């Protein structure tokens, strides 16, 4: 079959090859592989000039402001102590605020036991669950540090991560900094392995690229830093889900910059089953409709107040790649299979090989920038299955966007308690 496939590919004219592979080569590849390779080429030139390899800036940690860390969680008794330990040991001038958002387990009790006789730890318990946004806002009201850092209650910080994370805030124009999130359980299942590799590409590398271009529009709620004065000026977090992405868009609209600290790392558990992954990504993916297409669509309007071209570029990228391309992918696939009905198996194999080549280029970029190359090389062994994983993600995208556009399902997400979401504007 491979010989027959080879001869079939050779029989295609150049214009036919471009027609078949156009979506991949002209849409996905420029956004991911080409941009990473261009960034790496630029950094190689800088490396020869400075003699310094990419990596954590241990010698560039001169900015040491006071820091408040807010850890908000619900029923996280099993992980809260380990999270608190990883935070306290990470930075000297720190104030740790733990908010138990109406848990029914003993999360607050375990946190208080750890905090006993410690003046730098505050534990707050809310009697009735109000959602992550309200818990974070309660922690923000208690925060006294110049910088406020959020950490999920099931996350663990790598040594030195807070030092790395806060350095971009030395620039007064920067109000938020995105860190890197790494899977804590990468090899539990095939599902978690594919996500672990995806995180390295989309959170570590992709956000590094977008941060360089000034179009970064997300800071993970699992681990991120904010200028406390800006947070309080904006009123903190609005009701989620997706409150972390919403906050960053509001920060950008207010005229502030968002930076990235790629070597500031926290570990979090990722879903180990395909069903759990499906519903997690449904919650994540619908935010492009909720925020970029509804709540904050004025960021893409040139005549809107406080318009900035960098915000316009951010919105254009999100609209095109995260909405238009989702539907175009499936329409394009149906059209190509209709044009070549008798060669559909050969066609799918060609697209698979092309996608594999594009992804291999991204692996090279990942290994060039990696601060844990052996680990990332091991993660990359799942590469032959990754194009199939991406198709699965396209299915999730299509399902989520369509239902959000027509049914506004984000307003029914149990991530936010019923009493809160019924009292909130439904975007």
For the chain, the structural domain boundaries read: 67-299
> Any bridge partners for residue 268, and if so which?
155, 183
- Tokens representing 117 are 């006789």
CA-angle at 222, arms to 218 and 228, nearest 5° = 70
Of residues 421 and 149, more confidence is placed in 149
Q: Which superfamily, per CATH, for 67-299?
A: Spore Coat Polysaccharide Biosynthesis Protein SpsA; Chain A (3.90.550.10)
Q: CA-CA distance, 354 to 351, in Å (whole number)?
A: 5
- Can you give the pLDDT at residue 21? 83
What integer is the mean pLDDT of 326-351?
A: 89
How many C-beta atoms surround the C-beta of residue 127 within 10 A? 7
Residue 223: the pLDDT is 98
As a whole number, mean pLDDT of residues 157-181 equals 97
pLDDT over 60 (residue 13): yes
Q: Averaged over 310-319, what is the pLDDT?
A: 96
Task: For residue 57, name the pLDDT band (cuts at 50, 70, 90).
Answer: low
- pLDDT, greater one: 20 or 346: 346
Q: At residue 12, what are phi and psi to the nearest 5 degrees?
A: -75, 140
pLDDT score, position 26: 76
pLDDT(59) > 70:
no
**CA-closest candidate to residue 376, choices 223, 220, 208, 196:** 196
CA atoms within 13 A on the CB side of 229: 7
Q: What is the mean pLDDT of residues 208-219?
A: 95
The alpha helices in 167-227, defined as continuous H runs, are 190-199, 206-213
Calculate the average pLDDT of the chain.
93
């Amino acid at each position: 079959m491979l010989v027959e496939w080879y001869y079939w590919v050779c029989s295609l004219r150049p214009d036919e090859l471009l027609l078949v592979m156009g979506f991949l080569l002209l849409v996905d590849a420029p956004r991911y592989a080409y941009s990473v390779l261009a960034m790496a080429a630029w950094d190689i030139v800088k490396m020869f000039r400075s003699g310094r390899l990419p990596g954590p800036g241990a010698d560039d940690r001169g900015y040491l402001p006071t820091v408040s860390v807010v850890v908000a969680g619900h029923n996280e008794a099993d992980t809260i102590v380990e999270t608190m330990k990883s935070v306290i040991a990470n930075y000297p001038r720190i104030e740790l605020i733990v908010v138990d958002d109406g848990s029914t387990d003993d999360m607050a009790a375990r946190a208080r036991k750890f905090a006993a006789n410690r003046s730098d730890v505050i534990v707050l318990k809310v009697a009735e669950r109000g959602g992550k946004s309200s818990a974070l806002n309660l922690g923000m009201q208690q925060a006294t540090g110049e910088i406020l850092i959020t950490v999920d209650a099931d996350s663990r910080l790598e040594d030195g991560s807070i030092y790395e994370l806060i350095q971009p805030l030395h620039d007064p124009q920067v109000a938020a900094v995105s860190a890197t999130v790494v899977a804590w359980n990468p090899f539990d299942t095939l599902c978690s392995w594919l996500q672990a590799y995806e995180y390295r590409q989309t959170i570590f590398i992709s956000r590094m690229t977008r941060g360089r271009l000034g179009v970064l529009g997300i800071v993970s709620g699992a681990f991120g830093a904010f200028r406390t004065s800006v947070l309080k000026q904006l009123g903190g977090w609005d009701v989620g889900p997706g409150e972390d992405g919403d906050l960053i868009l509001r920060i950008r609209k207010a005229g502030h910059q968002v930076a990235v600290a790629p070597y500031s790392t926290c570990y979090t558990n990722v879903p180990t089953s395909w069903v759990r992954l499906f519903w997690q990504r449904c919650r994540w993916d619908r935010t492009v409709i909720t925020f970029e297409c509804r709540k904050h669509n004025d960021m893409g309007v040139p005549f809107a107040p406080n318009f900035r071209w960098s915000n316009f570029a951010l919105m254009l990228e999100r609209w095109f790649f995260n909405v238009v391309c989702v539907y175009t992918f499936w329409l394009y696939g149906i059209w190509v299979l209709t044009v070549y009905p008798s060669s559909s198996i050969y066609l799918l194999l060609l697209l698979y090989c092309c996608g594999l080549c594009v992804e291999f280029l991204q692996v090279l970029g990942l290994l060039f920038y990696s601060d844990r190359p052996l680990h990332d090389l091991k993660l990359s062994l799942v590469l032959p299955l990754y194009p199939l994983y991406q198709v699965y993600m396209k299915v999730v995208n299509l399902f989520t966007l369509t239902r959000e556009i027509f049914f506004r399902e984000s307003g029914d997400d149990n991530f936010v308690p019923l009493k809160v979401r019924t009292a909130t504007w439904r975007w």
